[in-house]
Amino acid sequence: MSGELSIKGLNVSYGPVEALHDVSFDVPGGQIAALVGSNGAGKSTVLKSICGLVTPTDGTISVGGETVGPRPGDALKRGVAMSPEGRRLFARLSVEENLQMGAYTISDAKASREMLERVYGYFPRLRERHRQMAGSLSGGEQQMAAIGRALMAQPKLLLLDEPSLGIAPIIVAELGKIITEINRDLGMTVLLVEQNANMALSLAETGIVLETGQVTMTGTGRELLDSPAIRSAYLGI
């Protein structure tokens, strides 16, 4: 599975508002990368650009060496799946139906059953609640279901938008461990967007800092965690 991500010279505007300016970074295949930055820095816009949900005015995005065009279906064809901020589950469908929706492009039923078992292995709580309506899950459980649904597409590149948002600290730590396991077991490249810079950079081999639409720093997760500028701006130290 080779899901390396390469972004070059990306510019995105929402009408007169320039959200991304000349954003370039690479994530080697099989790595966990963390994209961190404060509110409105443009993190979600990077993910939406990769998924074809916004159209860049300039720049290129490639996954596994192949260019991803600015249409929503394109990213899926190239093996990209996203767990969006706010989870966006189908509230009136069961947990298992939501998970199965993630596999709608997978024609191999056996592979889908195996992935469902894996998802239940990572998130036993979802197995226990597989018949429950997704809308009645707790915030943390909905987050697990959203990640599980993205995994069901068997992506090469998994995009996670703010998985720790609104989740109890103890579950954030558990989630971090599971993201590391998924990356290790499945060899999937993971791009993790987080305001929780500490959690994200602790997991990541590559860290990218975005400020007002521009990349201001890149390094290993460790280097960024140790950087005085990052410590005072994002870690409150």
Q: Does 40 bind ligand ATP (CB under 6 A)?
A: yes
Of the candidates 17, 131, 170, 228, which one interacts with ligand ATP according to CB under 6 A? 17
The Cα–Cα gap between 134 and 157 comes to 25
168 in helix, strand or coil?
coil
When binding is defined by CB under 6 A, the residue of 10, 27, 31, 43 that contacts ligand ATP is: 43
List 16, 39, 110, 228, residue binding ligand ATP (CB under 6 A): 39
Coil, helix or strand for 104?
coil
3-state helix, strand, coil in the chain (%, to 5): 40, 25, 30
Instruction: Decide whether 133 or 165 has the Cβ nearer to ligand ATP.
Output: 165
Q: Which of 19, 34, 179, 225 binds ligand ATP (CB under 6 A)?
A: 19
Q: Is 76 helix (H, G, I), strand (E, B) or coil?
A: helix
**Residue 71 and residue 107: Cα distance in Å, rounded?**
22
Q: Token pair for residue 76?
A: 């899926």
Nearer to ligand ATP, 45 or 143 (CB): 45
- Figure out which of the listed residues 42, 64, 148, 155 binds ligand ATP, where binding follows CB under 6 A: 42
CA distance 63 to 133: 34
Contacts of ligand ATP in 166-205 (CB under 6 A): 195
Residue ranges binding ligand ATP (CB under 6 A) = 14, 17, 19, 37, 39-45, 195
